[in-house]
Each structure stands twice: as C-alpha cells, then as structure tokens.
Amino acid sequence: MRNVISIAGTGRSGTNILKEIFGQHSKIATLPFEYRFMIDPKGIVDFYQSFTANWSPYKADYKIKELEEYLLSLSALSDEKREETNRIKSIDPKGLSLTPPPYSGWELNEWIPGYSDLVKTLIADLTEFQYSAVWPGLEANKANYQMSFAPKIDKATLAKKLELFTDKLFDAICEKQGKSIYLEDNTHNILFASDLKAIIPGMKLIHVVRDPRDVISSLQQQKWAPTALEHLISWYKSVMAQWEEEKARLDKSDFIEVKFEDILANPESEIKKLCAFVSIDFEPEMLQVKLDKPNNGRYKKNFSEQEIITLNVDLSKWLKLYEFKS
C-alpha cells in the first residue's frame, strides 16, 4: 500500500498552487493534470458505489463493460478522435458552444507506464467468466457478443480489487519519476472522500479552504461553472454540504483543512504543518514556488455592494466556520 496525498477543494480554492508546492518535494510524484478517472461519472468510485448497490447479471455485464470502455478511452487518442478534436477546436477553440470528444486531451499511456494493461487486468479480476449471449438492453449491431458475468460482492471485497488496481497505477507513476509518494489532485475528491479512503487506505486528504466569496468570484469566470450569482451560491453550498457529510465519515487523522489565505500569509509554517500531517520531511525547495496575492479579496471588485451583502448572508455558515470576516 503506497502513501498517497490528495489535495482537494471546491474548485478555484488554491489546490493547484499547493500541488505545485508539494511537487517540489524530492519524494513526491505528480501528474501535470487531473487524471479524473477516480471520481468522474463512469469511473472508479462510480463503479464502486453502483456495482454493490443493486445487482443483476445484466447490470454486472453493463457496468463492467462501461468501466472498461471508459478507462481505456483515456489511454490514447485514436486517429479518428484526434481528427474530430482538431476539427471542433478549429471551429470553437474555447469549447464554449461545441464540445470536443470526451477526454480528448487525455492520453494516460504516455504518463502511466502499462496503463492499458493494468486496466485489462482489473477488468479480468472483476469478471468471473464470459459467455455468448445477448439481452434486450444491448447497443445495436453487436456481433458475437460476450456477456461478462460477476456475482454480487460486498463493498469491502470490491474495494480490495480496486485498491490493487490503483496501487499498481500509483506505483507505475512513482517508479517512472523515481519518487516514493504519489500526490493526486482531483479537485472534487472532497465529495467522495470516504469511498476514496476505502479504495486507497493510505490516502491523506488536504482540503484547501478559500474565502467562499473569492471562490465564487473565480468560479464565475470558468466555462464549467454557472455564472448567475444565485446559481453559484447554490453550487458552493451544495459542494460544502456534501463535504460536511463526508467529513463526518472520516477519522480525524485522515484529513486536514488549511486556509489558502494562511498559506499565502505564512507559507513556511503552514507547509511544515502539512508536511507533518502527511509524514514527510519539510524541504526548503517547497517554498521556491512564487505566491502571488493579487486575487485575495477579488470579490470586492467583482461584485456590487448588494451582491456582497447577499454573499455574506447566504454564506454566513462557512464564513463563520472558517473565520472569514464578513
């Protein structure tokens, strides 16, 4: 079981900067992007939650095939997918009105040695046997279809199978980079923290908290978030409410919360505290990352006086909890 550090937050909370800081450590391996397959729909946690929730031979076949197709879709770009991606980006470079093929920027075979083979090994481990058959829910034009059968299993047993897969993936990343600890930063890990802990027992989670008004101000500029203030507030409150539920399921030794503003104000003391939490030695090189503060309090420039009053009222629970002045 490898030690794994997870840096997570609401989005736009400073996780990328903290990842860059930890990425300077001599023992820590990172990827330059979020690999996403742990928590996105159709991914590992989705499979973990749904496969054990209810069972039938047909659902088992469907979910195993769905997981295999999804994970392998991240391995490399086919010529057809690359061509379609380039065509759409030439029409709409920002992808605001016309979306490219799913995960068109992900080619995990380049970053994780043996990725596709590890996926195939996982699918084989999940499948007890295959047999020639068809059922009404299949897609059209399937020739000589092979049903994948897996009996119903409990969550603990499934977690062990998924743990073996993820551990081998993290080993491959670390070995390629000559490091011993893997740091991953799928931002919304806070929404699935307890299930991730079951699958990755060695995981230590760092939740980066930022003034929610600045988070919302930044989210408003992102193509993947809403723009209306009331919608952004609902987005933030829903994420944080889910985190509160997840936090209650975790042991207090499994996670730590740190304010982004404290990292900017007192980087050495805060990073030393986080290093102690994840049981690594602090290295001065970690402080070589440039920490700019121009966006602190950005909400004061981006929102009207009335909008700020609305933010202060609607977000009062979290402003008080994390000691941000209203």
pLDDT (tens digit, 9 = 90+) per residue, 18-35?
999 999 999 999 999 999
d(CA 18, CA 162): 27
**pLDDT-based confidence at 295, cuts 50/70/90?**
confident
Q: What is the mean pLDDT of residues 144-167?
A: 97
| pTM for the full predicted model | 0.95
Question: What are the pLDDT digits (tens) for 103-125?
Answer: 988 999 999 999 999 999 999 99
3-state helix, strand, coil in the chain (%, to 5): 50, 10, 40
Question: What are the pLDDT digits (tens) for 39-85?
Answer: 999 999 999 999 999 999 999 999 999 999 999 999 998 888 899 98
- Which H helix or E strand runs over 183? strand 181-184
Q: What is the mean pLDDT of residues 163-182?
A: 97
Burial class (CB in 10 A: 0-12, 13-18, 19+), 70: buried
Query: For residue 53, which amino acid is it?
Result: A
Question: What are the pLDDT digits (tens) for 201-235?
Answer: 999 999 999 999 999 999 999 999 999 999 999 99
Q: What is the mean pLDDT of residues 145-174?
A: 97
Q: β-pairing, 28-29 with 129-132?
A: unpaired
- The full set of domains in the chain, from first to last, is 1-35+155-326 (3.40.50.300), 53-152 (no CATH)
pLDDT for 294 = 64
pLDDT at residue 1 is higher than 70: no
Burial class (CB in 10 A: 0-12, 13-18, 19+), 152: middle
Which of 274, 266, 269 shows the shortest CA–CA distance to 291?
Answer: 266
